[in-house]
Structure 1
Amino acid sequence: MFVTNEPQKLQFLYESLEKSIPESFKVYGAIFNIINKNPFNLEALVDAWPDYQIVIARPKKEEMKDDLDHYTNTYHIFTKVPDNLEVLACPQVINGEQAFQIQGCQENLREARRKVSASKSVQVDYMRTMLFSVEIPVELKTSSDDKEDLTQMFKISNMDEASREETFSSIFLDTSHARLVNEQWDFGKNERSLKYVECCLQNVPAFGVLGPEGLPVSWIVMEQSCELRMGYTVPNYRQQGNTWLTYHHSLEYLIQKKIPFYFHVAGSKEMIVQKLISSGIKGYPWGWHQWKCNPKKYC
């Protein structure tokens, strides 16, 4: 595989991957960020051009300095040939001497990754959840002026906004909120995840609701592949519409700015899953996959 960094090729790749959504979401979002100032210093690899079969987005080598930082050392993958992924065992593609993650939205990647890891001294923790996305109407994709009322597109929020104006407001989070977000992130709660959260808050949008005490009570943060993650609502403020106000704010902003987005929810969170589906947001059962890989020398 080889790195492609020419602007025209990256744009072609981005437009081509759009045709394979939702399976290509992870790489599609990463390449969007590469094209737009590349805040996470990523690069795209392909196996051939222009008739590629595999695309991998990963950080550039200088970013992967910490061998134990699987948050930074993340590889996003999309393939048209899931039965032929020996490339994952190539050290020039994936540094198997480090802790790392592979993320993708294709169910058939699981067996390919199992075969590769079986031949290496690597411990793999696998997780899959339900993928969600919003199908944007064509007129919104092409319009640059009108601001669509998302409460008409989706039944996201039924709360009385007027009664909340004095005590609750939508905000953008910044790096001053990093520790708060990290402490409540199920995949975080450590110093390496805190560093990653800070990087996300510094470079891509993060949305929240400010409560009456002047602190965020609900939030969601975009990360390096344009996925909305790290979502949380403080227990005392649940079942009050704060989560849906956060989603409404994020969807409205991202659609207006034409930034791709998607998110995942654990299938065990049945109430949230059903509410999202009833709100008109499209779900793909078990469509989000993550392999957290640790060389056994670090286990």
Structure 2
Amino acid sequence: TMLILTCPAQLQRLEGALRRSLPLALPVHGAVMNINRGNPGEFEVVVDSWPDFGAVLARRSGEMPVDDCYRNTHAAFYRDVGAYRGLLETPGCLRWDTAFHIIGGSGGELGSTGEHWEHGTLGEPLVIWGSTRGWPLLTANPPRRLDPSVRVGSLSPSHVDLLNETWPYGGNSRSRRYLAELLRCFPNLCLQDGAGQPLSWCLTDHFGTGAHGYTLPAHRRRGHMQAVMVLAARRAQARGFFSFGHTATGNRPMQRLQEELGHQRLPGLCRFVLHNPGLGRAGP
């Protein structure tokens, strides 16, 4: 069975229930928080039953583009793998003729499920980072003193090409549209030089996740990313959100920075499971 939760009271209750299941429910919880605060990403949540649910899927509402797995990224949380499998297999839960990602909490049984999907592949495992001091993170470490010419600001839509070129998972027209959507709908933070050009930045996605943290190579080793991470965490807390993100397993510099900021590597790994029936097919 599958139920789409549309009642505000239901969604508020779901947010509270997911909060009690942190940190494994972080991506779904962030999506529900965004839905309950104006729904800028135009998402919805489906459950296998209500109010005693065993599985939750946060997905984009409305019509989905067929070959765009960037914009069709879902988040899953389940208490029972059988309920989760049953939810995904319910007609109408997923558009199996489209490309999509599903991101899970610990990546354990979620990965095993993904291995059996037709056209399904396991994406790169990512390290999940959160707080050692409870939820939300209260960052005690002040950022390193920066050059007086560096200013705190925000990215604008005009920076989308820079973001697309510097994102390891980007570089194409679909990723560009996705990044433009993040810029339009969700908070971001950047450090700028005296001319207003971005030096270092971090975005936020539909799930409240810190995304695309990057410093231009010529400006590294100056404490810029540390400052961005601390300031972004404080702004997230001010909005009631948690501070968390994903880091590639081979990205040791970012992992060390997270440790220095008091973040904790959470149990297990997170996997983005990709379903793409048109893999390899050219598209716009």
TM-score, structure 1 length as denominator? Answer: 0.86
Q: Distance in 1 between matches of 2:48 and 2:120?
A: 26
Aligned-residue sequence identity (percent) comes to 24
1:290 maps to which of 272, 276, 280: 272
Equivalences for residues 64-103 of structure 1 within 5 A: 64=64, 66-84=65-83, 85-103=85-103
Q: Which residue of 2 aligns with 1:144?
A: none
Assess, with a 3 A threshold, how the Cα gap between structure 1 residues 91 and 295 changes in structure 2: closer, same or farther: farther
Q: Distance in 2 between matches of 1:94 and 1:182?
A: 28
The one-letter amino acid paired with 1:3 is I
**Do the aligned partners of 2:43 and 2:59 also contact (CA within 8 Å) in 1?**
yes
Q: Which residue of 2 aligns with 1:173?
A: 155
Q: After superposition, give the CA deviation of every residue in 1:30-87 in whole Å (9 maximum; x if it has no partner).
A: 111111111111111011111000000101123x1x2011111122100001255143
Q: 1:238, CA displacement in angstroms?
A: 0.6
Assess, with a 3 A threshold, how the Cα gap between structure 1 residues 262 and 137 changes in structure 2: closer, same or farther: closer
Equivalences for residues 1-299 of structure 1 within 5 A: 1-62=2-63, 64=64, 66-84=65-83, 85-106=85-106, 107-115=108-116, 117=117, 120=118, 122-134=119-131, 150=139, 153-154=140-141, 157=143, 159-161=144-146, 164-165=147-148, 167-284=149-266, 286-296=268-278, 299=281
Runs of 4+ in 1 over 6 A off after TM superposition: none
**Do the aligned partners of 2:99 and 2:278 also contact (CA within 8 Å) in 1?**
no
Q: 1:214, CA displacement in angstroms?
A: 2.8
**Do the aligned partners of 1:128 and 1:286 also contact (CA within 8 Å) in 2?**
no
TM-score, structure 2 length as denominator? Answer: 0.91
Secondary structure, counterpart of 1:58 in structure 2: strand
Q: 1:248, CA displacement in angstroms?
A: 1.7
Q: CA RMSD in A?
A: 2.0
Structure 2: runs of 5 or more not aligned:
none
Secondary structure, counterpart of 2:256 in structure 1: helix
**Do the aligned partners of 1:2 and 1:47 also contact (CA within 8 Å) in 2?**
yes
Q: Distance in 2 between matches of 1:86 and 1:259?
A: 30
**Do the aligned partners of 1:123 and 1:296 also contact (CA within 8 Å) in 2?**
no
Q: Distance in 2 between matches of 1:16 and 1:285?
A: 20
Secondary structure, counterpart of 2:242 in structure 1: coil
The one-letter amino acid paired with 1:74 is T
Q: Distance in 2 between matches of 1:94 and 1:256?
A: 34
The one-letter amino acid paired with 1:77 is A
- Judge which range, 48-57 or 104-113, deviates more: 104-113
Assess, with a 3 A threshold, how the Cα gap between structure 1 residues 296 and 176 changes in structure 2: closer, same or farther: closer
The one-letter amino acid paired with 1:50 is P
The one-letter amino acid paired with 1:206 is N
